[in-house]
Amino acid sequence: MEIRKLKENDREACQKLSRYAFQTSENSYDDLKYPDAKTPIDFYYGAFEEGFLFACAGAIPFDIKLRSRDFKMHGVMGIASKPEYRNRGTIREIMIRMFKNMYDSNIPVSVLYPFKFSFYEMLGYKLVDEHIFYQFRISDIIYRKTDYHIKEVVKIGDDIRNVYDKVVSKFDYIAKRPTIDYWRGHFKGNYKFICYKGDQPVGYIIMRFSKPDEPWLKSPEKTIQIREVFWLDQEAKQTIFNLLSSHRDQRKYIAGTFPANENIMDLLKTPRILRRIIVDNSMLRVIDVKTILENLEYPLSDFTLTLHVNDEFCPWNNGYFTLNSMDNTINVVFKKSSENIIDIQIDISYFAQLVAGFRTVNDLLEFGFITVNNEKLEVIQKLFPKTNNYLHDFF
């Protein structure tokens, strides 16, 4: 078996593999589209047997915000294998190769949306954010007059992009999106509205009228689906919900996902919520522990901590990290062995949850997922507080 990055002459084979894995209802290899010509084929890694591509996975470059700091990230997607070649550990081998290439390319973290959480947990990924899916009656929206106004636009431009870039500051774990072309490709064919305070954009909503054949919705033929919505203040939020309220003669329900900490219920009258579901979202994998520890923003300025990290697949992470901060200057030393007192012993997957702020030290201690030096417990709790996470991206 050979594992390597794909080349342009591998594109059609990759498209056929993706068609069989993700578009089975097409029932043919006609009119292949994914990955399209705009996607660099060397984003993908493949496994070959006698020149035949039988498994692949892609890694899309992003920047991601993690505890107020920006990091390079690869979003893993398009993981596919021919059924007759499954259960051979091939995807695991592809992923291990990707981890090494990410490390060599100074990419310290990776994110994916899993088809099966347990499989990727074995590779060191762990859940780090949730969102809430709502479906509610349009007639229950409370209309309140505001001084803001709404304008429909045909294409995504700088005003929407500027709102998103400001929204990023509200979250501790969120993607910093690349080019406008990325946005336009994912939101093509949707309705787009911008909320303005005077001439300044302060919010936006991207939405679509659902079709009858969308089984994840109740009464899809009566529903407007929010593809994405963000606002910069409460009045923008109300103005956008006023816009949704004005659709009461066209559809009966609104459906969409919102950050877990976002209050939606108080915008509704006696709420008749059709559905409210907590949705497990993205998984994070730390590729380079040392880089993450060196560049995180910490609530304390002077401290010393020794961590023992277990990482089966990335040997450069598997060992002891002494983290020292003095006058806000961070120094991290990695060794394969240590005579220091160990302050935290943790597997790489739970390390991802800790640094992302999805789980606190107490959360992880409750179920025995980490071991902590009790003399440093208070310091560790302060260093790794709970955060506000919301990844709403596409790869």
Q: How far apart are CA 351 and CA 387, in angstroms?
A: 14
Q: How far apart are CA 349 and CA 310, in angstroms?
A: 9
Q: What percent of the chain has pLDDT over 70?
A: 96
DSSP 348-366: HHHHHHHHHTSS-HHHHHH
Q: How far apart are CA 327 and CA 336, in angstroms?
A: 27
- Taking residues 304-333, what's their average pLDDT? 96
Residue 36 has pLDDT above 90, yes or no: no
Q: Using one digit for the tens of pLDDT, what is the confidence trace for 330-359?
A: 999 999 998 889 999 999 999 999 999 999
Count of CA atoms in the C-beta half-sphere (13 A) of 118: 0
CB 115 within 8 A of CB 259: no
Q: Using one digit for the tens of pLDDT, what is the confidence trace for 179-195?
A: 666 666 678 889 999 99
Q: How far apart are CA 73 and CA 64, in angstroms?
A: 6
> What pLDDT shows up at residue 164?
93
Do the first three CATH levels of 2-107 and 288-383 match, i.e. the same topology?
no
Q: Using one digit for the tens of pLDDT, what is the confidence trace for 202-257?
A: 999 999 999 998 888 889 999 999 999 999 999 999 999 999 999 999 999 999 99
Residue 260, both tokens: 């877990």
Nearest 10 degrees: CA dihedral of 330, 318, 62, 201? -50
- Match domain 2-107 to its CATH number in 3.40.630.30, 2.30.30.90, 3.30.565.10, 3.30.365.10: 3.40.630.30
Domain ranges of the chain: 2-107, 131-280, 288-383
Residue 127 has pLDDT above 70, yes or no: yes
Radius of gyration of the chain (CA): 23
Which amino acid makes up residue 385? P
Q: What share of the chain is helix, strand, coil (3-state, %, to 5)?
A: 30, 35, 35
> What pLDDT shows up at residue 184?
65
Q: Using one digit for the tens of pLDDT, what is the confidence trace for 359-370?
A: 999 999 999 999
Q: Using one digit for the tens of pLDDT, what is the confidence trace for 148-159?
A: 999 999 988 899
Residue 270 has pLDDT above 70, yes or no: yes
Q: Mean pLDDT score of the chain, rounded to an integer?
A: 93
Which amino acid makes up residue 100? K
**Measured at the alpha carbon of residue 384, what is the angle toward residues 113 and 350, in degrees to the nearest 5?**
45
Instruction: Give 24's pLDDT tier (boundaries 50, 70, 90).
Output: low
Question: What fold characterizes domain 131-280?
Answer: Aminopeptidase (3.40.630)
Residue 33 has pLDDT above 80, yes or no: no
Instruction: Please provide the CATH number assigned to the domain covering 288-383.
Output: 3.30.1050.10
- Taking residues 69-81, what's their average pLDDT? 94
> What pLDDT shows up at residue 180?
62
CB 373 within 8 A of CB 342: yes
Residue 86 has pLDDT above 90, yes or no: no
